[in-house]
């Protein structure tokens, strides 16, 4: 394959050289303007895959082995515990439904796998650590729970209320919905001592969201069933209340290069009713989500090059990019 690629690049080089020799003298020299952009786009197409498999790049955290013993417990068919009467202080009635146990998957499978790398993660920039955790959590859930591990009302710390039948995998024990996955690396980072639960950097976790709600009267917890609060579990509608707006992509638009330059790993991607997160692989931004149809290509659910993914994501709804982490320092290399 490398030999074929080398031959192809050699032919392109020779053709470009012959074309330049045939050009009038006044047209020779440095390529500028639209021609330069076209060349850069061609180079990008040759070097940056639109979709990338997890085995195609180095992992910062090794994925836990799927042993028969673990798979017998943590899988896509396990049913959550049924709660017949669930109530909260702000409720006048009771709820029933199935609850998740993602916290068991985190403490028994994910956290032990992270432990050998924790010291290394703590010395990274915050966006790098969250990036590594995003990729690790996503791939680990795929290996154990399934390529599409979506579960209506699922989050990694089990803060969501019980859910009734009638929604996608809403009775399952393991899995996360779009906002559940989107905030999972931030919640893991707080649990691991990487992010401060009382600082803005943790705003995309229930820990940080609780602190904001308790200290800012303008922000309140919502998103629970029947108009109730939801244990500070961040819903898509809550995400727009916290963090910093980085840029807005109009409905049906493709993000510009200038907009892409504003983004970094750990930024969340939000539209009405759905969200995802940006990750960085081989110095390129990619997009991940739970649920939705942006990353789903023939059922593979692999990281999708961000500029193309965001165009798809914003196809019918205005999309915003938000950030709670410190801005990246460009002098440091990314952790994958």
pLDDT tens track for 51-102: 999 999 999 999 999 999 999 999 999 999 999 999 988 888 899 999 999 9
CA separation for the pair 123, 137 (Å, rounded): 20
Q: Could you state, in order of their start, the residue ranges of all structural domains in the chain?
A: 2-47, 54-323
> Which residue in this structure is represented by tokens 């994958």?
336
Mean pLDDT of 263-271: 98
Q: Which long-range contacts (CB under 8 A, 24 or more apart) does 207-211 make?
A: 208/242, 208/324, 209/234, 209/238, 209/242
Q: State residue 90's pLDDT score.
A: 86
How many residues does the structure list for the chain?
336
Looking at every residue in the chain, the average pLDDT score rounds to 88
The reported pTM is 0.85
Helix (H, G, I), strand (E, B) or coil at 190: helix
CA separation for the pair 301, 279 (Å, rounded): 14
The angle subtended at Cα 28 by Cα 25 and Cα 33, nearest 5°, is 140
List, for residues 201-218, the tens digit of each pLDDT value: 999 999 999 999 999 999
């Amino acid at each position: 394959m490398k030999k074929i690629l080398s031959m192809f690049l050699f032919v392109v080089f020779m053709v470009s050289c012959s074309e330049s020799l045939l050009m009038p003298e006044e047209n020779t020299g440095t390529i500028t303007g639209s021609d330069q952009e076209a060349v850069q786009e061609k180079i990008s197409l040759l070097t940056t895959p639109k979709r990338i498999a997890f085995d195609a790049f180095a992992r910062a955290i090794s994925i836990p082995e799927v042993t028969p013993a673990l798979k017998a417990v943590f899988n896509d068919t396990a049913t959550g515990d049924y709660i017949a009467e669930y109530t909260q202080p702000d409720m006048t009635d009771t709820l029933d439904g199935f609850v998740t146990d993602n916290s068991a998957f985190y403490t028994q499978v994910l956290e032990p796998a992270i432990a050998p790398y924790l010291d290394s993660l703590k010395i990274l920039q915050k966006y790098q650590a969250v990036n590594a955790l995003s990729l690790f959590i996503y791939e680990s859930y795929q290996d154990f729970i399934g390529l599409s591990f979506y579960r209506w009302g699922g989050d990694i710390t089990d803060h969501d209320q019980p859910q009734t039948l009638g929604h996608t995998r809403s009775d399952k024990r393991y899995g996360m919905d779009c906002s559940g996955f989107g905030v999972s690396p931030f919640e893991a980072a707080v649990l691991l001592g990487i992010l401060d639960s009382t600082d803005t950097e943790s705003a995309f976790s229930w820990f940080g969201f609780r602190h904001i709600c308790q200290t800012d009267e303008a922000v309140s917890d919502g998103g629970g069933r029947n108009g109730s609060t939801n244990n500070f579990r961040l819903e898509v509608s809550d995400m727009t209340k916290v963090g910093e707006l980085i840029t807005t992509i109009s409905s049906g638009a493709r993000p510009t290069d200038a907009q892409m330059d504003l983004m970094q790993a750990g930024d969340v991607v939000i539209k009405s009713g759905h969200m995802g997160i940006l990750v960085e692989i081989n110095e390129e931004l990619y997009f991940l989500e739970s649920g939705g149809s942006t990353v789903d290509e023939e059922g593979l659910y692999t990281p999708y090059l961000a500029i193309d993914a965001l165009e798809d994501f914003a196809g019918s709804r205005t999309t915003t990019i938000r950030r709670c982490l410190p801005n990246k320092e460009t002098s440091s290399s990314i952790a994958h």
